[in-house]
Each structure stands twice: as C-alpha cells, then as structure tokens.
Amino acid sequence: MIDLFFSPFLDYIFLRRALMACLALALGCGPVGVLLVLRRMSLMGDALAHALLPGAALGFLIGGLSLPAMGLGGFLVGFLVALSAGAISRFTILNEDASFAGFYLISLAIGVLIVSTQGNQVDLMHILFGTILAVDSMSLLIVTSITTFTLFVLALIYRPLLIECFDPGFLRVIGGRGTLYHSLFLVLVALNLVAAFQALGTLMALGMMMLPAVSSRLWARHVWSLFLLSSFFAVISGYFGLLLSYHLEWPSGPSIILVAGVIYGVSLVIAPFGTLKQQQGMA
C-alpha cells in the first residue's frame, strides 16, 4: 500500500518536485478554469494555449530548455495573439471563434517549424508534451509564484469579475470598467497556461484547467464550491497521474490529463447534474 502510493515520492526528489508543481498548478488552474467555463471562453483558452508554442519556441532558441525563457516568450506571444484575435473579430466580419481558430493553427505551425528546424525531435516532444519530471527548483519557484499571484488577484477582483461573467452589459452600464477585469483575467489565464506548460506541454496545458472545471460544474451549484471542487479534482489528477506515470512508465503529461478525463467521465455518469441523474429527473 505504502509502496504503491507513497514511496515513489519519498524515494525520488524529482518526483517530489513534480508533485509539488502539480499541487501548485491545481490550486491556480482550478478557479481560473471554472471562470473560463462560466464565461464560455473555452475556445479562447485553447487558442491561447496553442499560441504559447511559437513564443516558447522563440524562448527555447534564445535560452534553451529553461522555463523562465520559454515561459516569458510564451506569455508575451500568447497575450499578443489573444489581443489581436479579439481586435480582428471586432473590426472584421469574422466571429471570435473563427479568428481564434485561424490564429492558433498559424501559431502551432510556426512553433513546430521553429523547434524542429532549430532543435531536435526530443526538444519538440518536450515542448509539445511537457517534462514534469525535469522540474527544477527554479521552475517550481515560478509555478508557485504564479499560483500565489493568481489567487491574490482573483480574491481582489472576484466580485466585479463575477458580475462581468454573468451580465457584462450590466457592469458596463454602471460604469464598472469591465474591460479592465476582462484583461486582468486574460493575463491570469495566460500566466497559468505558462505555469502548466512545463508540466503538460503546450498541447495539453489547458487540460489541467478545463477538465477539472467542467467536471466540477456537474457536481456543484455555487461558484465557491466549483472553485474548491475544481482544484480538488486537479490535485487528484496530478497525484494519480504521476503515480501512473511512475509505475507504468507512461509520460507524465498525458497520464495526468487522462486521470482528469476519467474523473470527467465518471462525473458525467454519476454526478447530480450528469446524464444519468438528469435522465431520471426527466422521466
């Protein structure tokens, strides 16, 4: 029992670091993911996550496989893409989802090109799918700082952000600087994706946000309980994902997301707002 569940973390320092990184990620990504789902911005998150790739690739060119360089590059380019996609949908006939889809395909292509021409296959795999088992103290520090900052800012703007989610027109009419809160929230999303991408890679960075968030939506009916539950699911996914990855020698990123996916699947069936219960309610 102890062998199965605890000793890997007691024996290996890199697994302990990975676990710490996952716990920190879970605390930040949980609430941010819930808000992303409530604002119906899942696609936006997807576009942001893919836009990290060319930025991270540029950082990789300059600084090699280090989280600070790739993270900074990813954050800047991701944010630039989010802004320009928003502007394009405002100024042209294209809807936001279409312009986001366009942007993330282009970013993906540019990112893969940069890494595969300048680096090697292994580098590409690392950037696309993450290397949580190579988390060093520096990246752990970055991830935990991002989580702290996220929770602090969320606490600060919780009330207006929630109003902006539910009824943006209302906040604008009462003069409540909706754009400010919206942009702050976008910064938080981009930061958390940067934190997640070392562990999960750019392709799956969003998974730690979306899957726990949609699962929690099936269980809880208050925003605070959604936050807690979503973080809890993310913690569980991180822990069991790492265990799976250790015992079965699977790559860590997909293992973590897979556990989150299993939680989602189970929730879909047995949760109070899942399919089974809703069907009974209708019958």
Partner 1 sequence: MEPAISSFWGRLTKKHPTIRCHPQGPISIDIQNLSVQYPNNPIISGLTCHFEAPSLWAIAGPNGAGKSTLLKTLLGLQKFKGGKINFHGLCPCDVAYLTQQNQLDRRFPLTVGDTIAMGLFREVGIFRRYTKAQRDKMQDALEQVGLSSFAKTPLQALSGGQFQRVLFARLILQNAPVIFLDEPFTGVDGRTIEDLMGLLHRWVKEGRLVLAVLHDLDLTQEHFPKTLLLARHFYKAGSTEDVLTKEHMREAVAASRQWEDTGGTP
163 is a contact residue toward partner 1 (CB under 8 A)? yes
For the beta carbon of residue 2, count every other beta carbon within 10 angstroms. 7
86 is a contact residue toward partner 1 (CB under 8 A)? no
282 is a contact residue toward partner 1 (CB under 8 A)? no
Task: Convert residues 36-75 into a mask of x (bound to partner 1 by CB under 8 A) and - (unbound).
Answer: --x-------------------------------------
Q: Which stretch binds partner 1 (CB under 8 A): 16-24, 222-230, 236-244, 249-257?
A: 222-230
Structure tokens at 156: 């600060």
Task: Convert residues 90-109 into a mask of x (bound to partner 1 by CB under 8 A) and - (unbound).
Answer: -xxx----------------
* Residue with tokens 């702050």, as numbered in its chain: 184
* Residue with tokens 């893969």, as numbered in its chain: 112
268 is a contact residue toward partner 1 (CB under 8 A)? no
For the beta carbon of residue 184, count every other beta carbon within 10 angstroms. 15
226 is a contact residue toward partner 1 (CB under 8 A)? yes
Measured CA to CA in angstroms, residue 10 lies from 5, 19, 134, 148 at distances of: 10, 11, 17, 26
Residues 115 and 124: beta-carbon distance below 8 Å: yes
- Give the list of residues 6+ apart from residue 12 with CB closer than 8 angstroms, or none: none
Question: Among residues 221, 279, 280, 283, which is the contact residue for partner 1, using CB under 8 A?
Answer: 221
Measured CA to CA in angstroms, residue 56 lies from 51, 69, 79, 114, 190 at distances of: 9, 7, 12, 10, 12
Given the complex with partner 1, which of 213 and 243 has the nearer CB atom? 213
Q: Please give the residue ranges that form the binding site for partner 1 (CB under 8 A).
A: 38, 91-93, 156-160, 162-163, 165-167, 169-176, 217, 220-223, 226
